[in-house]
Amino acid sequence: MAIQETMGEAPAKASFIYDPKVRGVFYQIVLVAAIVWLGWEFITNAARNLEQQNISSGFGFLKNTAGFGIIQSLVDYAEESSYGQALWVGFLNTVLIAFLGIILATVIGFVVGIARLSNNWVISRIAYVYIEVLRNIPLLLQIFFWYFAVLRAVPNPRNSFEMMFGTMFLNNRGLFMPRPVFGEGSILILIGLIVGVVGAFVVSSWARKRQMATGQQFPSFRVGLALIFGLPFLGYLLSGLPVTLDHPELKGFNFVGGMKVIPEFMALLLALSIYTATFIAEIVRAGILAVSHGQTEASHALGLRPGPTLRLVVIPQAMRVIIPPLTSQYLNLTKNSSLAVAIAYPDLVSVGGTVLNQTGQAIEIIGIWMLVYLSLSLLTSGFMNWYNDRMSLVER
């Protein structure tokens, strides 16, 4: 009876000090207090040091005149512009190199990754050597190679390489090409482009739903291309051919007119794209190998050739494996673009470094750098996560 009464009693309640929930809350409060204290110490110490060096804090310096030039600007900029405008130019240059680099690296990576699995021994070996050599050479050395050994080694403007029937010229000062000049009525071309892109998206969505419902395919890709290129061309004709080309001409020791792509931009774009493409190629190869070989055999049994099998059966299933690590490579490419400072390409870090040297606002400039790259990374991750959800397997 004594044993039964003992077993029926409720376990003794732990004391307040030894309660796991209480200790957990206590430790969290201590941790938060320690973080707040460290933050406060950092802020007060930084403010004290800035005061001792007579450096004013804040972002008021962004309104001051910059006084230095920038060799590439996507918006209006002059030496009389403000530091804020200079940083804006650097930000746009960073976004441009990251956006184009991601596109080019993705194209090269998919081509090389598929070539790595080719049954042709020569193609497979070439892809293998490309991957193993270039991914093991530091990115900074590749940037130096393209800039100093390739683009700086081409002839001077008087001995430029002529391309595209004499309309483009490559020399050690950059790539010069015709610049489109939009006259009155060019707005119809822009309207046609917008309508074409929206129409291509609508046709693609309709074709996908139609195929899921009926199994019938529709040439949405070709129709989309026709809309994207055809409608702007129609607007060009209806508006009376308002677009002309300003061709570059050699005058003196340099080219005048046209559009110029600086060597720093080309070197950085090539190095970032070719280097990142090696990792994307391995991701693509792993994604394709993750698809069951039975899928390929089944598609061949239905009469599909290797090309349509890869495009319609294998790649769509492999994308669920490819997209997550692909996101990391996109983030790496964006952050690696900060190496542009090594060849003086005017990205955010390079321009910000000049502003920092002139103003001494180290905390503010570094804060801007961190905020911008954090925002770009979060936007890229958010978009890729959305795309990954779109590509996920939906059970019916």
**Type and span of the H or E element at 250:** strand 249-251
Residues counted in the chain? 396
364 to each of 62, 88, 125, 386, how far by Cα in Å? Answer: 10, 15, 50, 33
Whether domain 83-158+262-391 has CATH 1.10.3720.10: yes
How far apart, in whole angstroms, are the C-alpha atoms of residue 360 and residue 55?
A: 7
What lies within 8 Å, CB to CB, of 242 at 6+ separation is 182, 183, 184, 185, 186, 189, 236
Give the pLDDT confidence of 66-123 residue by residue, as tens digits.
Answer: 989 999 988 889 999 999 999 999 999 999 999 999 999 999 999 999 999 988 999 9
Q: What is the DSSP string of 168-183?
A: EEEETTEEEE-EEEE-
Q: Are 154 and 171 in contact (CB under 8 A)?
A: yes
Q: What is the DSSP string of 222-238?
A: HHHHHHHHHHHHHHHHH
For residue 290, which phi and psi values (nearest 5 degrees)? -75, -15
Q: Specify whether the backbone of 163 is left (phi greater than 0), alpha (psi in -120 to 50) or beta.
A: beta
How far apart, in whole angstroms, are the C-alpha atoms of residue 291 and residue 297?
A: 12
> Can you say how many angstroms the Cα of residue 11 is from the centroid of all Cα atoms in its chain?
60
User: Which regions of the chain are under pLDDT 50?
Assistant: 1, 395-396
Give the pLDDT confidence of 280-299 residue by residue, as tens digits.
Answer: 999 999 998 888 888 877 88
Beta-bridge partner residues of 303: none
pLDDT attached to residue 7: 53
78 to each of 68, 162, 298, 351, how far by Cα in Å? Answer: 8, 31, 63, 14
| Separation of first and last alpha carbons in the chain | 60
pLDDT attached to residue 1: 47
pTM to 2 decimals? 0.82
CB environment 21-42: b (16+ within 10 A), e (fewer): eeeeeeeeeeeeeeeeeeeeee
1 to each of 5, 9, 202, how far by Cα in Å? Answer: 6, 13, 80
256 to each of 3, 40, 246, how far by Cα in Å? Answer: 103, 56, 10
Within the chain, strands assigned E span: 161-163, 168-171, 174-177, 179-182, 243-246, 249-251, 254-256, 259-261
Return the number of other C-beta atoms located less than 10 Å from residue 111's C-beta. 15
DSSP 149: I
> Can you say how many angstroms the Cα of residue 13 is from the centroid of all Cα atoms in its chain?
58
* Distant-in-sequence contacts of 219-225, Cβ < 8 A, 24+ apart: 224/199, 224/200, 225/200
Q: Are 104 and 110 in contact (CB under 8 A)?
A: no
Q: Are 353 and 289 in contact (CB under 8 A)?
A: no
3-state secondary structure of 246: strand
How far apart, in whole angstroms, are the C-alpha atoms of residue 102 and residue 324?
A: 15
Q: What residue ranges do the domains of the chain occupy?
A: 83-158+262-391
How far apart, in whole angstroms, are the C-alpha atoms of residue 58 and residue 43?
A: 13
**Cα torsion 120, 123, 126, 128: sign:** negative
